[in-house]
Structure 1
Amino acid sequence: MDKTSTYTFKFVCILFLSTQMVLAGGSKKKEETTALRKQIYNLHKVDDETTSIPYLERYLDLSQNELYFKLLYAKALLYRNDLSVPRPDEPAEDRINKAKLIQKNYNLSSKLFQENVLHLEKVRPRDPNLGRWYYLWAFSEWFSDNKEKSIKLFQKAVKLDYRLTESYYNIASLYESLGQWQDASLYWRKFEKAEKELEEED
């Protein structure tokens, strides 16, 4: 075997081994993402969003452009129940640190909703769940203490999906918390009317 043939043979062997390794790695990644997806779906089916958080984080590490799973992650952060709530009998520093963690969590949730709900609206403007995602985004803004923004998002949610009548209730509550009694009264009436219309429709 001459020198050229030897080099060609070595190159082909290296190329073959590299391809096999890439295929094996791709196959392993696919298996892991499939298992994670199944785990996430099962947890969200039983409303156990908190437990799904580490699975979602790992899944999004592997598949960074998965719009739907980014929205599920934002929802899981919104509903998470594993963060300690500050107690009045605790030292002030502990209460402040716990409050900061909770605030950071809601801020991340609202940031993820904003990025991904707007992207969803752009790529799939007729998505039947778009109103529901706006509704959840509105809550994340409310919990982040962005009340005015939350009101606008609830308005958008019910505009996209008239069945989200709770949006009117939430808007009325937000206006009350802001001391805007006239606006609150208007939305209480809208809520009552929308609920009545839904009942008649059923």
Structure 2
Amino acid sequence: MDKTIIYIFKFLFLFCIGSEIWAGPSKRKEETIVLKKQIFGFHRSDEETKSIPYLEKYLTLSPSELYFKLIYAKALLYRDDLPVPRNDENIETRINKTKAIQTNYNKASKIFQENVLHLEKVRPRDPNLGRWYYVWAFSEWFSDNKEKSIKLFQKAVKLDYRLTESYYNIASLYESLGQWKDAELYWRKYEKAEKELEEED
């Protein structure tokens, strides 16, 4: 009788532990599905900033999700909740606000660099690869890495000829660097590419 009670107790104990183990992944899967829906909802309505905490939670649960890392970097790039420095503020406040904005752009750049290069390695024919290079180029531009931004825009349009705005942005960057001949060259490339796209349509 005592042995039977012990066996029943052991069985119940193991059953409870097993149930918890099985419930863990199932619960996590449900949570990631809910988070995905919320994230895509925000991005469809152009509310990237609101998706940031959901993306951070999602990436805690699924840290190897390449696509969601890229969406996270894009959300950081387009975030609009960081306070902008004002002329009527004291110098320390302006410096702190500028640092926060710069840190955010640097973080986006770093995430793009790691994951766009990884995407290119694992999926070299991904149809969105050019667009990811294009968005990454903006994060470098906003981080004041203008030369790197130029190279990324060049790569973007090489991967996807429809990204003609890349030429426009390269021309603008060269102008800001005082490289007028290069700027003129890319203004012409932009005009030519736009005409070709119009003819194609």
TM-score between both structures, scaled by the size of structure 1: 0.95
Q: Deviations over 1:168-196 (max 9, x none)?
A: 00000000111111100100000000000
Distance in 1 (CA, whole Å) between partners of 2:14 and 2:189 is 68
1:57 equivalent to 2:53? Answer: no
2:180 is aligned with 1:181? yes
Residue matched to 1:112 = 111
- Runs of 4+ aligned residues of structure 1 deviating over 6 Å after TM superposition are none
**TM-fit CA distance, 1:2:** 6.9
Deviation at 1:30, TM superposition (A): 1.2
Matched residue, 1:157:
156
Gaps of 5+ in 2: none
| Code of the aligned partner of 1:160 | L
| Counterpart AA for 1:133 | W
**Structure 2 equivalent of residue 143 of structure 1:** 142
Aligned pairs for 1:26-65 within 5 A: 26-65=25-64
Q: For this pair of structures, how many residues does the alignment match?
A: 201
Q: 1:134 maps to which residue?
A: 133
- Structure 2: how far apart are the matches of 1:7 and 1:198? 78
Cα distance in 2 between the residues matched to 1:16 and 1:117: 45
What is the CA-CA distance between 1:10 and the residue it aligns to?
4.5
Question: CA RMSD for the aligned pairs?
Answer: 1.3
What TM-score do you get using the length of structure 2 for normalisation? Answer: 0.96
Unaligned segments of structure 1, at least 5 residues: none
For 1:161 and 1:61, how far apart are their aligned partners in 2? 32
Code of the residue aligned with 1:15 in structure 2: it is L
1:13: Cα distance to partner? 3.1
Q: Deviations over 1:20-45 (max 9, x none)?
A: 01122222211111000001011101
SS at match of 2:130: helix
Counterpart of 2:46 in 1: which secondary structure? coil
Provide the rounded CA distance (Å) in 2 between the counterparts of 1:64 and 1:12. 35
Cα separation, 2, equivalents of 1:57 and 1:130: 23
Quote the Cα distance in structure 2 between the aligned partners of 1:19 and 1:38: 30
The one-letter code of the counterpart of 1:26 is P
Q: Which is worse superposed, 11-20 or 119-128?
A: 11-20
Cα displacement (A) at 1:6: 6.6
CA distance in 1, matches of 2:6, 2:169: 72
1:99 aligned to 2:98? Answer: yes
